[in-house]
Amino acid sequence: MDGSPAIQTNLQDSAATRRDLSACLVEGAAFGGMVGFGETYLPAFVLAIGLGEVTAGLISSVPLIAGGLMQMVSPFAVDHLKSHKRWVVICATVQCLSFVPFLVGAITGRFSAAAALISASLYWGAGLATGPAWNTWIETLVPRPLRARFFARRTFGQQFFVFAGFLLGGLWLQWHSETGASGKTFALLFGTAACCRLISAAMMTRQREPDPVPANTRRIPIRTVWPHLKASGGGRLLLYLVAVQAAVQISGPYFTPFMFVQLGLSYAQFAGLLSAAFLAKVIALPLCGRIAHRLGAWKLLWLGGVGIVPLAGGWVLSQNFAWLLFLQIFGGFAWAAYELAFFLLFFESIDKSERTSVLTFYNLMNTTGWVCGALIGGLILKFVGTSYSTYLMIFGVSSAARLLALLLLTRVRDVPVESAGVSVRTMAVRPGSASLDTPVLPSLPDDVEAVVAPASGN
């Protein structure tokens, strides 16, 4: 009987852990619903309400800089609050509220371009600010032996609701567009997205925070992060990433207005193209994991880097729906290779104790590249004109810029990655524009274990 108090304590801890993980699963699914129902359809809403093609492109790109800058505040906010969890819950709640202006605009039919960009900036700023802090918090919550299997389950649920959200949203819009009631449907989508994020925030409050500010957490001054990356080999890789991101976003944000305005695609066709790319990426990632194991992450990055080059230019060759569907599927495979390889190589060079600070710097650089590229595309459309031929021009320029970015990849050296016998599952995938370009790396619970699980764990 002497061991009974210890046994009881262990049982209580086990029960508390199960409650934490269950809440975390629901939270991930709710977050996926928010992305699928809400984030995906912001550019389509801007077009529907008459704010123009350039604004529709900028709504999913320029506001991202708010997220990059907001993350600079995160370390100070966490220090002030003495808790990573509190900061994440606050940001999630703000992100939920950012849908309110879109909801009101959809109901009233009146919404300015400035209001749209400010609301989107609030959405992205609050959303991206949660990343590094959530990463640090969740690592203290999920026991190491459970991480690979748990995050595979969480990712599957998140992906399912992202996919279900934008597929159902497209079908709802298609149905109501035929009756002239698409405004009310957008209001329903944004209201659903806000409710999903509210559920997500509520589920966060139900999870414990075993170690509010881990003792081994190091805050690296922003001016010293770049020397850290240069010394570890991550600097050249980061330069390549920023160049690719800028090249991709010359065209990326403008596929949605091109599809709706220039090609006249229906909401159902739009959702179908996104679904094809999404599913292709989900299917491709396990295969990419095996390629990384056999050939190495560096060669996989080359496969992905070369594969993404013709994706935008392919839209110049033909706008036949079957051809576009093929491009989406091919793009899903190419982006899966690129993102997984970069993930493996980049995080091999980051010490876990410095991860929050390095991720903050990384995301700032990434979003800066994203916004610069989008502004280049937007300026071309503004001064040359939003004509059919101008869109084809920026698609071609984007592919040419991606090809030039490969010159930076020649300077990236291979890094051994400890991932023997891997089976890879996708992290959260956000359908962006007509491609699956991810503005930030997903929040990372523990090195590569979050996406790279032992083969025996399948």
Cβ within 8 Å of residue 358, ≥6 positions away: 220, 225, 228, 229, 350
How is 284-315 classified by DSSP, letter by letter?
Answer: HHHHHHHHHHHH-HHHHHHHHHHHTTHHHHHH
Contact present, 74 and 125 (Cβ < 8 Å) = no
Q: Is a pLDDT exceeding 90 seen at residue 67?
A: no
DSSP string, 251-293: TGGGHHHIIIIIS---HHHHHHHHHHHHHHHHHHHHHHHHHHH
Q: Which of 70-84, 226-240, 385-399 has the lowest mean pLDDT?
A: 226-240
Please say if the pLDDT value at position 429 is more than 50: no
Q: Could you report the per-residue pLDDT of 311-336, keeping only the tens digit for each?
A: 999 999 999 999 999 999 999 999 98
313 vs 239, more confident = 313
Q: What is the mean pLDDT of residues 66-82?
A: 79
pLDDT per residue as tens digits for the range 102-143: 999 999 988 999 999 999 999 988 988 887 788 778 878 888
pLDDT of residue 215: 63
Q: pLDDT > 90: what percent of the chain?
A: 39
Helix (H, G, I), strand (E, B) or coil at 78: helix
Please report which residue ranges of 178-266 form alpha helices under DSSP H: 182-205, 222-232, 234-249, 255-257
Answer yes or no: are the C-beta atoms of 394 and 247 closer than 8 Å: no
pLDDT at 328 (0 to 100): 93
Q: Say which residues have a Cβ less than 8 Å from residue 45's Cβ, sequence separation at least 6.
A: 102, 105, 106, 186, 190
- Which is it for strands 422-424 and 452-454: parallel, antiparallel or unpaired? antiparallel
Distance CA 439, CA 14 (A): 36
pLDDT above 90: residue 33: yes
Q: Poorest-confidence range of 79-83, 175-179, 238-242, 320-324?
A: 175-179
Question: Residues 6 or more apart from 110 whose CB is under 8 A from it?
Answer: none
Least confident of 43-57, 152-166, 408-422: 408-422
Residue tagged 């996989």 (tokens): 300
Report d(CA 370, CA 379) in Å as an integer. Answer: 14
225 neighbors 326 (Cβ within 8 angstroms): no
Choice between 375 and 438, residue whose per-residue pLDDT is larger: 375
How much is the pLDDT for 31? Answer: 95
CB 97 within 8 A of CB 379: no
Q: Where are the domains of the chain?
A: 7-210+222-457
| Topology of the domain covering 7-210+222-457 | Growth Hormone; Chain: A; (1.20.1250)
Calpha distance 10→260 (Å, rounded): 57
Residue 58 tokens, joined = 């900028």
Question: Quick one: pLDDT at residue 418?
Answer: 53
In the predicted structure, residue 419 carries a pLDDT above the cut 60: no
